[in-house]
Structure 1
Amino acid sequence: MDLRVNGEPHSLDLDPRTTLLDALREHMGLTGAKKGCDHGQCGACTVLLDGRRVNSCLILAVTLDGASVTTIEGLSHPVQEAFLEHDGFQCGYCTPGQICSAVGMLAEADGASLPDAEIRERMSGNLCRCGAYPNIVAAIREVAAR
């Protein structure tokens, strides 16, 4: 199967049961996406698949032949700087998934101004056990306002 990851082509021979998350972490050495719950409930594994945010633990890699994946390692976006400026992280475990989800969410919003409650709702699939939510929302709000 062929997959473009962070702009680079990859040809992989995988067990059909391999998730995208495991392919990224174990076969490509891209460990930014984290294995949190492995059930699609925490968002730590969020990546962008053809520009849309997805939980990579829920997708079988073999179904993605020809797809394009962007992980935190291949991302360059103002959200990253805003997370630093607003302290949108504490332990950092969820941060790659939060950032990828925020980038995807902003693309979905297509430039619309979103109130904080809407940002929180749209980001509700990404959990932060440290409770950095107010700072995460502030970071996203700042980028959305640009």
Structure 2
Amino acid sequence: MGKQIRFFMNADDEMAFCNKVYSLGGVLVTRDLVEIRNGFLIENEPRKVYLRFPYSRIMLEDSGQLDVIQSDVIELVRCISRANALTYGRLWLPVKNDSPSEPSLIDAYYQLVRWMKTSCKLNTDKDCYIARGAYRQYKYGVEMMASPNTACRFE
């Protein structure tokens, strides 16, 4: 269970989003808790990264990796750019209700959602957002893919 918002962002949009995360005191980390500095737009970075805040409670799995469900983090699944297509990304907050930092994490999540809703356009089905740079690509013919066979439409 949790809260999520789906979106399309290109590299420039991701940098703007990272700046919003940083302005809230957050950092981006991998499952190995390696901090990703200066954004995460390096080709070899993982598709899934996690937003960690100063108040985040961090729990580790036996493997030493971040326990996403038990930790106070927000999961960010990045968009994948392919030839003439961009696959959607997702911001996901697992809701636990048993953590002292949960209210602060929920507040940070909603501030990021508010940033998306004010900075991005909503698709015609009203279930996905598109940021400015990705929208320009869409206008030039790049498909915004909600699934391998389903493209999103924007006005």
**Could you tell me the TM-score, scaled by structure 2's length?**
0.29
**Could you tell me the TM-score, scaled by structure 1's length?**
0.30
More helix by share: 1
